[in-house]
Chain A
Amino acid sequence: MPRISRSGITVDVPDAWEGTISGGDFQLESDGAVEPTVMHVASFPLPAERGSFGTGAVELMSTSDVFMTLFEYGPESAGTPLFEAEGIPRQFAAREFDRNALQRAMPGQTGLQRFFTHEGRAFCLYIVLGSHVDRADILPRVNAVLETLEIG
């Protein structure tokens, strides 16, 4: 199982899945923007052009697919009310997924978004499942990936 690692984030990408970790360190770009760390893990081929929260990718999902984003916010966000949950979320239940939680609403899909702080770093974990109806069948694969996620 391939393991990818960057900016203190490490995750095992299951066989036949794809993953990437980009950005990091919030270094100032030439245009004045800062580039956050973004991890994408998906059970389907990721397109080259896609948004941080999956625009351009979730449209390609089949009903059994999974798309996961871990998006890091600036250090000033750590511990604020939105990010008050401590530690990496590891296990989710089917009931926690909601069609209305999708950043980009796609027919049949369902999603979940969790904000948390870990080791003084603020993150949003965003997960899209290809089917709300079949979410209980898809979920074990998501939880298995989260078990391997490490943030240092």
Chain B
Amino acid sequence: MMTALVIIEGVVILLLAILVAGLLKSHAEILRQLAALGVTEDGAVSVGTAQTRPRTTGMERAPANTLHGVNLDGSEQTMSLVHGRGPTLVAFLSSGCLSCQTFWNELQGDIELPTPDTRPVIVTKGPGSESVAKVRDLAPTRVPLIMSDETWEAFRVPMTPYFLLVDGAGMVMGEGAASSWRHLLGLLRQSARDAMPAGLDAEGREAFTDLQLRQAGIEPGDGSLYSNPLEKGS
């Protein structure tokens, strides 16, 4: 009799353990899916866009030539994507999205950029939809930040974090989501390679790159090829 009770108890404990493990796994999967969709820890949806599926990466014009909004102290500002210089890496981040945390952290330090003259710009939703205090805690001082619902809607940001690399003429060189900065760099470099015509030898690739630079108004020897836009003069 006693043996039977112990066996039954063991089976019940085993079943409960399986149930708990299943629930934990299910919970983790739900959190992962929500984070990918840009839903924050407190349940708020961090994106409210007309288009909810990711768009394909490809060479097309950015939906706006300017990023227009306010910065953390409420200053109104407009930033250009067609300034004719190096690319702009637009990082759509939110203070509540778990997946964004790694990018907030990495942008605080010395980050590797797709090209030396790439300018990173962080775009969050506007002060009415995003916590200014939280963003202030997370925001790096050296990277321009703009808070703008208008920009999110114009770019139809499908999720957070989301990134676009836009050249100095306003053409999208690559876009998509990533899980880490290293992952993002890999995706953007792949986009750049994909954009290059197939079958080019080293000389052809060089000529293609020169042509693209010339179209952006950058001639061989231009100072912008060798300068870091984030560096200040002494």
Contact = CB atoms under 8 A, between A and B. Distances in A.
Given A56-B233, A59-B232, A60-B227, A44 B75 contact: no
A150 to B, nearest CB: 14
Interface of A: 2, 4-6, 13, 15-23, 43-50, 55-56, 58-60, 62, 104
A60 B144 CA distance: 15
Given A45-B85, A49-B142, A13 B78 contact: yes
Contact of A18 (B75, B83, B227, B230): B83
16 contacts: A2-B66, A4-B68, A13-B66, A13-B78, A18-B83, A19-B78, A21-B75, A45-B83, A47-B229, A48-B144, A48-B145, A49-B141, A49-B142, A49-B232, A56-B233, A59-B233
Contact of B78 (A20, A22, A60): A20
Q: Classify the interface of chain A: helix, strand, loop or mixed.
A: loop
Contacts, number: 80
A36 to B, nearest CB: 12
Contact of B85 (A15, A44, A48): A44
Interface of B: 65-66, 68, 71, 73, 75-80, 82-85, 88, 119, 141-145, 223-224, 227, 229-230, 232-233
A150 B162 CA distance: 37
